[in-house]
């Protein structure tokens, strides 16, 4: 049991508390001893002091002595509508029950560093005219700063174990909290939010520093306004992060931040440079309708799930160099006013087998400034956008299957997929030809024609000339196909020559009488296969070899080979030419 309040210590100090606390208990007598230590009524850590503590608290307030360093508040304490006209010092104070500072006015500095709030604390509508420090403060229950107005506010290394609410707060200077008014810099460096952090409609009029902050529950910054630099460098968002309609008037730095759940920056506005260098998005990332008025740097960022940039506006450079898109990246109807870079390197694979890029209806104001460097791409990613002037450098298009390309478009419910793929491939053909990548151009020309062929009857349409063009040489683009068809004509003709009749002999006609009595061989005999091969080659090259065909069937075969052979040879030459020149 503690000693009686009437016990008198022999020490010159009334209280055995830390030296930095002793000024707070100046004028207070010795109160009790606990576990070998002596305390004044202010610092004694026990609820049984309630009545005596209340009297001591009132004396300090009447004397406008707001030094509460290390003070242990046993019961609920209310400073509602109270005005602290001089420095309010609550360093290391412990609030064991509800602490109410709602609508309080701190006309000078307010220091709650290392303070412990074991129950709910309310600073709603409170006004901090000068520095407000909550450095290393611990909030074990809900902390409300709704509509609070703060000057310089420091919450660095503060720990919030329950709801931290700063709805409609204004941060005008150094500060680090939600929904209040912070008139100076806002610092939440390494702060931990164990439950939802609500900064909806908060206004940060000076720099807001959330670097290394840990948001272990939902982080709400909807409609928040950052008038100065916003630093979320290496911040960790374990749950959803909502920056919907947030406004960043100065630089916004999310470099190396980790978003483990959905990230919503829909309709966000970035008035200055936006940095997402090496940022990790493990779930959906929404930048739809976002506006980037200055450079947007997403280099080395990782998008593990879908990335939505639909209708986003990039007024300056947009850099996605070495950014990894593991699934879909949507830029549908996005606007690009300047440089756009999608780049990788030999060691860093930006696009995987499950990746996809959607640039449909994107508005490209300077298409020659859109570059793709050292990437694996697919033709169907460029439907409904004109890629003729894009810069493709060291791009691997792989060996895409036409049916697979069409299937991917159908999965997106894109109407007329065959036609749109054909148009996209023709645009890519023009791009490749103008940049002297003729083999690549040949591949895209083939895909464009093939897409149209497969549009009806599953590609089987022998009544169309284009079908025969495809069969003979792959539209004049497939060298080996043209070669094997030519070889087939040669061999087939040779086989037929072993079945039809050729003249066995021809009489030598010296006079008109010889002509009259000459008897021609109208039946003939077939050629041996070895002879038939050379005969077929001679016919194909207009050599008019002997013997002459003796029957109608033989004449027909020779005629057809004379027509088809050279035509097929011309298609082979065309296919070879297109591999190396326009």
Q: What is the domain-level CATH number for residue 548?
A: 1.10.287.70
Residues 417 and 452 in one domain: yes
Assess whether 529 and 433 both reside in one domain: no
The C-alpha atoms of residue 53 and residue 72 are separated, in whole angstroms, by 9
Rounded CA Rg of the chain? 42
479 and 575 belong to one structural domain: yes
Contacts of 6 (CB under 8 A, 6+ apart): none
In angstroms, the CA 503 to CA 548 distance is 6
Alpha helices by DSSP H, 256-388: none
Reading the block at residue 521, the tokens are 């061989």
- Structurally, how many domains does the chain consist of? 3
Pairwise CA distance, residues 248 & 265, whole Å: 11
Pair (434, 487) in one structural domain: no
Tell me how far CA of residue 6 lies from CA of 13, 31, 211, in angstroms: 16, 7, 51
Cα gap 359→383, rounded to integer Å: 8
Residue 115's nearest CA partner among 96, 131, 138 is 138
> Residue 514 to residues 88, 505, 522: CA-CA distances in angstroms?
138, 15, 18
How far does CA 414 lie from the centroid of its chain?
A: 23
Q: Which of 213, 222, 269, 267 is nearest to 241 (CA)?
A: 222
494/544 same-domain check: yes
Question: Which of 45, 69, 93 marks a domain boundary?
Answer: 69
Report how far residue 454's alpha carbon sits from residue 108's, in angstroms, rounded to the nearest whole number.
78
In a domain, 23, yes or no: yes
- Round to whole Å and give the CA distance between 330 and 215: 27
pTM of structure: 0.73
Distances in whole angstroms, Cα of residue 262 to Cα of each of 307, 308, 313: 10, 11, 21
Instruction: Quote the CA–CA distance of 389 and 432 in Å, as a whole number.
Output: 10
Tell me which DSSP letter residue 2 carries.
P
Look at residue 526 and tell me if it is in a domain. yes
Indicate the length of the chain as a whole number. 582
pLDDT of residue 28: 86
Q: How far apart are CA 408 and CA 373, in angstroms?
A: 23
Residue with tokens 């070879």: 576
Report which of 215, 136, 133 is spatially closest to residue 182, judged by C-alpha positions. 133
Rounded CA separation 209/231 (Å): 5
Helices 479-497 + 552-580 axis angle, to 10:
170
Tokens representing 495?
A: 């086989």
Whether the CB-CB separation of 542 and 406 falls below 8 Å is answered with: no
Collect all residues with Cβ–Cβ distance below 8 Å to 165 and sequence separation of at least 6.
Answer: 142, 143, 144, 145, 146, 178, 179, 198
Task: Specify if 48 maps to a domain.
Answer: yes
Whether 44 and 32 have beta carbons less than 8 Å apart is answered as: yes
The verdict on residue 22 lying in a domain is yes
d(CA 274, CA 229): 10
The domain in which residue 428 lies consists of 377-460
- Supply 265's token pair: 């920056």
Q: Are residues 515 and 442 in the same domain?
A: no
Q: Are residues 453 and 477 in the same domain?
A: no
* Distance between CA atoms of residues 509 and 517, nearest Å: 10
Q: Are residue 477 and residue 404 in the same domain, yes or no?
A: no
Give exposure, 376-414, as e/b (b: 16+ Cβ within 10 Å). Answer: bbbbbbbbebbbeebbbeebebeeeebeebbebbeeeeb
Exposure of 329 in the CB half-sphere (CA atoms within 13 A)? 24
How many Å apart are CA 413 and CA 406, to the nearest integer? 11
* Cis amide leading into 547 (omega within 30): yes
Assess whether 428 and 478 both reside in one domain: no
Kindly give the confidence (pLDDT) of every residue in the chain, 582 residues in length, as a single tens digit, with 9 standing for 90 and above. Answer: 344 344 444 445 678 788 888 888 877 888 988 888 889 999 999 999 999 999 999 999 999 999 999 999 999 999 999 999 999 999 999 999 999 999 999 998 999 988 999 998 888 888 888 888 888 888 888 878 777 777 666 776 666 666 666 655 554 443 334 334 444 566 777 777 777 787 888 878 778 888 888 888 888 899 999 999 999 999 999 999 999 999 999 999 999 999 999 999 999 999 999 999 999 999 999 999 999 999 999 999 999 999 999 999 999 999 999 999 999 999 999 999 999 999 987 776 677 778 889 999 999 999 999 999 998 999 999 999 999 999 999 998 887 788 888 888 988 888 889 999 999 999 999 999 899 888 888 889 888 888 888 887 776 777 777 777 777 777 777 788 889 989 998 999 999 999 888 877 555 555 665 555 545 556 678 888 889 999 999 988 888 888 888 888 888 999 998 888 898 888 888 888 877 765
What is the structure's pLDDT at 171? 44
**Cα–Cα distance, 220 to 224 (Å, whole number):** 9
Q: Are residues 454 and 481 in the same domain?
A: no
Q: What is the DSSP letter of 545?
A: P
The answer to whether 432 touches 441, Cβ cutoff 8 Å, is yes
| Domain-ending residue, one of 69, 95, 126 | 69
Query: Could you tell me if 432 and 511 lie in one domain?
Result: no
CA distance 77 to 205: 31
Q: Do residues 486 and 558 share a domain?
A: yes
Q: Are 489 and 568 in contact (CB under 8 A)?
A: yes
Distance from C-alpha of 258 to C-alpha of 277, rounded to nearest angstrom:
11
Least Cα distance to 95 among 118, 113, 78, 114 occurs for 118
Last residue of a domain, one of 438, 460, 482: 460
246 in any annotated domain: no
Instruction: Give the Cα separation of 155 and 198 in Å (integer).
Output: 15
């Amino acid at each position: 049991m503690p000693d009686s309040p009437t016990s008198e210590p022999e020490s010159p100090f009334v209280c055995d508390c830390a030296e930095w606390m002793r000024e707070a208990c100046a004028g207070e007598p010795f109160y009790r001893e606990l576990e070998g230590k002596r305390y004044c009524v202010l610092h004694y850590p026990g609820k049984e002091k309630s009545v005596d503590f209340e009297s001591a608290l009132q004396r300090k307030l009447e004397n406008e002595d707001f030094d509460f360093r290390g003070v242990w508040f046993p019961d609920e304490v209310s400073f509602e509508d109270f005005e602290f006209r001089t420095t309010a010092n609550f360093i290391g104070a412990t609030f064991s029950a509800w602490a109410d500072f709602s609508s309080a006015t701190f006309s000078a500095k307010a220091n709650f560093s290392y303070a412990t709030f074991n129950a709910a604390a309310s600073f709603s509508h409170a006004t901090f005219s000068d520095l407000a420090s909550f450095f290393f403060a611990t909030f074990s229950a809900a902390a409300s700063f709704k509509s609070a107005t703060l000057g310089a506010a420091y919450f660095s290394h503060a720990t919030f174990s329950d709801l931290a609410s700063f709805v409609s707060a204004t941060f005008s200077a150094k500060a680090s909290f939600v929904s209040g008014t912070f008139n100076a810099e806002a610092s939440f460096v390494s702060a931990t939010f164990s439950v939802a952090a609500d900064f909806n409609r908060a206004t940060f009029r000076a720099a807001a520093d959330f670097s290394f902050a840990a948001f272990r529950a939902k982080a709400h910054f909807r409609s928040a306004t950052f008038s100065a630099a916003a630093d979320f460098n290496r911040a960790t968002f374990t749950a959803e992060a909502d920056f919907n309609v947030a406004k960043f008037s100065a630089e916004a730095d999310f470099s190396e931040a980790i978003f483990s759940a959905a990230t919503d920056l829909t309709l966000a506005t970035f008035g200055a440079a936006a940095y997402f260098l090496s940022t990790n998005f493990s779930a959906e990332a929404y930048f739809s309708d976002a506006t980037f008025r200055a450079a947007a740097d997403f280099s080395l960022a990782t998008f593990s799930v879908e990335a939505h940039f639909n209708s986003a506006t990039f007024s300056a450079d947009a850099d996605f160099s070495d950014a990894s898109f593991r699934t879909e990246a949507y830029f549908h109807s996005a606007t690009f006013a300047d440089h756009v870079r999608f780049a990788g390197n030999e060691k860093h694979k930006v696009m995987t087998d499950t990746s996809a890029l959607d640039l449909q209806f994107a508005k490209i104001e300077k298409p020659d400034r859109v570059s793709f460097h050292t990437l694996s791409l697919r033709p169907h990613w460029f439907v409904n956008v004109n890629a003729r002037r894009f810069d493709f450098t060291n791009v691997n298009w792989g060996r895409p299957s036409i049916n697979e390309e069409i299937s991917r478009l159908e999965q997106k419910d894109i109407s007329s997929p065959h036609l749109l793929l054909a148009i996209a491939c023709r645009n890519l053909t023009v791009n490749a030809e103008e940049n002297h990548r003729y083999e690549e151009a040949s591949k895209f020309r083939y895909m464009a024609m093939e897409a149209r062929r497969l549009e009806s009857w599953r590609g089987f349409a022998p009544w169309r000339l284009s079908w025969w063009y495809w069969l003979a040489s792959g539209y004049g683009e497939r060298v080996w196909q043209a070669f094997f068809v030519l070889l087939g004509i040669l061999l087939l003709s040779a086989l037929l020559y072993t079945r039809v009749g050729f003249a066995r002999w021809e009489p030598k006609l010296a006079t008109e009488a010889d002509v009259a009595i000459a008897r021609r061989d109208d039946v003939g005999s077939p050629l041996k296969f070895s002879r038939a091969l050379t005969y077929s080659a001679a016919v194909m090259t207009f050599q008019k070899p002997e013997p002459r065909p003796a029957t109608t069937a033989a004449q027909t075969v020779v005629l057809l080979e004379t027509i088809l052979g050279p035509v097929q040879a011309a298609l082979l030459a065309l296919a070879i030419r297109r591999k190396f020149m326009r």
